[in-house]
Amino acid sequence: MTDWSDLVGPAEEVAPRLLGYVLRKGDVAVRITEVEAYAGADDPGSHAYRGRTPRTDVMFGPPGRLYCYLSYGMHVCANVVVGEPGTASAVLLRAGEVVDGLGVARSRRPGVLDRQLARGPALLCRTLDVTLEDGGTWLAGGVVRLEQGEASGPVMAGPRTGLRLAPDRPWRFWLAGDPTVSAYRRHPRAVSHHPDL
């Protein structure tokens, strides 16, 4: 059973605690091996940086729900909402290892190595068949569920991947040496200091 009290607070503190947890939808389950923290109004890299909108409403709580969005207009990515109600704070699920339903996962991503099935936030969602319609799901008992797990091995931290604004915050966390962790890519036009800060 998931201890939700341990998964509520500032995103950069909760994010590493999510490593090892298992996200499950239907017959497929993925153990989380890589995450990124997004801190809402205090974070130029967050979708909620400029305030509450219909798109970001779920990010403002309550915690324990799934925030889904489209990346580049085509790829679904999923976050766990972790902030207290009214505070936008979420953790992007970047990568994981398929631990249940491997046959189904392979059929959704034919021809790739098992370690690559959920290696990246969009691929993780594709492997689990998480869609925009799953956004807002209560992860304690909805169609998408977050289950207790444990990190295996040391946790590493570094800058978030692909962000143009606030790229240097060390809010990407991953399990050291895990083959399912995605590669770090810096945005070609990354700006270390946002003019509004």
* Structural domain spans, the chain: 4-175
Inform me whether the pLDDT recorded for 1 exceeds 60: no
pLDDT at residue 62 is higher than 50: yes
Confidence tier at 73 by pLDDT (50, 70, 90) = low
Say yes or no to pLDDT of 188 above 70. no
- How much is the pLDDT for 192? 64
Do 112 and 98 meet the contact criterion of CB atoms below 8 Å apart? no
The alpha-carbon radius of gyration of the chain (Å, integer) is: 15
Distance of CA 28 to the CA centre of its chain: 17
Predicted confidence band of residue 149 (pLDDT cuts 50, 70, 90): confident
Q: Which long-range contacts (CB under 8 A, 24 or more apart) does 14-18 make?
A: 14/82, 14/89, 14/91, 15/82, 15/91, 15/171, 15/173, 16/151, 16/155, 16/157, 16/173, 18/80, 18/91, 18/93
pLDDT of residue 195: 44
Which among 154, 171, 31, 190 is positioned nearest to 91, based on CA atoms?
Answer: 171
Predicted confidence (pLDDT) at residue 189 exceeds the cutoff of 90 = no
- Which pLDDT does position 165 carry in this prediction? 77
pLDDT band with cut points at 50, 70 and 90 for residue 101: very high
For domain 4-175, give the CATH superfamily. Answer: Methylpurine-DNA glycosylase (MPG) (3.10.300.10)
**Residue written as token pair 């036009």:** 189
Q: Is the pLDDT of residue 193 over 60?
A: no
